[in-house]
Amino acid sequence: VHFLIPGRARVLMSDLTALPRQASMLRGERGGEGFHLIVVDPPWENASARRGSKYATVPARNLVQIPMCQLYHPQGTLVAMWMTNRERLLRFAEEELLEAWGLRPVATWYWLKVTDGGDPVTPFDAPNRRPYERLLLAVPAVSAQSDPAASALTGASGAGATLQVFHTEERVPPPPESFVLIAAPGEHSRKPKLKRVLQQYLPQSARCLELFAREATSGWTAWGNQCLKFQHSAYFKKA
């Protein structure tokens, strides 16, 4: 079995039951200071995924045990979590999970799934399958501050205030409250790569982590029980 791993990528493979004991290992040797960006792609409960054996799902309440607060960086952290369209799970995430992780939402982005021809993969009013997914952006509630001298970001910290995610010497702009990614879906529910999209809202040399990763990203730490799945040589073609 051959795996192709990008340069400067860190990989920690384990399951959710082991994660609470591995926070310090995830933080690594560079001072163990935590991460500026944490991308979370939970394997939300999904009957169709179970029937098709595409990937293992996790009961939503099990996500509470992730030691998120131990992974936040003292300078600030932006959390980007892929959401399900199921109303019950959306309510759970917004009303319980974010609170358990000490987060407050600051933006909602959308990924519009399109065909190779650029059309939505399904009608917007399709009853069982929507052509979009949400990406919820959140920050630790205890460290979030607002900068009233900056331009307004509606809904971030009140009228006339702009969210300040990172407390560094460099000026880092906050992410927009709304944004639409347009991309064709990959096989096995692969999401669009977020590195280039989000790096403009991060400090230079930001430390980045992806939870429930299924592939490695250069310069990032990947955690999950399938984080090498799409690094298998079978998914690559020789140039």
Evaluate the CA torsion angle 180, 186, 191, 196 in order and state its sign.
negative
Name the helix (H) or strand (E) containing 52. Answer: helix 47-52
Q: Which residue has the tokens 């990528």?
A: 9
Residue type, 91: R
Distances in whole angstroms, Cα of residue 196 to Cα of each of 112, 190, 193, 217? 17, 16, 7, 11
Residue 210 covered by a domain: yes
C-alpha 85/C-alpha 110 separation (Å) is: 11
What is the value of pTM for the model shown? 0.86
Kindly state the DSSP code that residue 125 receives in the 8-state scheme.
T
Structural domain containing residue 107: 10-226
C-alpha 152/C-alpha 149 separation (Å) is: 9
Q: Is the pLDDT of residue 231 over 60?
A: yes
Residue ranges in 140-221 assigned as alpha helix (H)? 195-198
Residue 201 covered by a domain: yes
Residue 82 covered by a domain: yes
Instruction: Using DSSP bridges, classify how beta strands 208-211 and 37-40 pair: parallel, antiparallel or unpaired.
Output: parallel
Residue type, 97: L
Residue 233 covered by a domain: no
Residue 3 covered by a domain: no
Of 212, 182, 185, 218, the closest CA to residue 199 belongs to 218
Specify the pLDDT at position 154.
34
CATH number, domain with residue 170:
3.40.50.150
Count the helices and strands in the chain (H runs, E runs): 5, 10
Specify the pLDDT at position 31.
54
pLDDT in tens, 37-52: 999 999 998 755 444 4
Q: Is the pLDDT of residue 151 over 50?
A: no
Q: Are 211 and 224 in contact (CB under 8 A)?
A: yes
Lowest mean pLDDT among 6-10, 111-115, 155-159: 155-159
Residue 133 covered by a domain: yes
pLDDT in tens, 54-108: 557 889 999 999 999 999 999 999 999 999 999 999 999 999 999 999 999 999 9
Q: Are 184 and 118 in contact (CB under 8 A)?
A: no
> Average pLDDT, stretch 115-136?
92
Residue 239 covered by a domain: no
C-alpha 133/C-alpha 130 separation (Å) is: 8
Mean pLDDT of the chain: 85
How many domains are there within the chain? 1
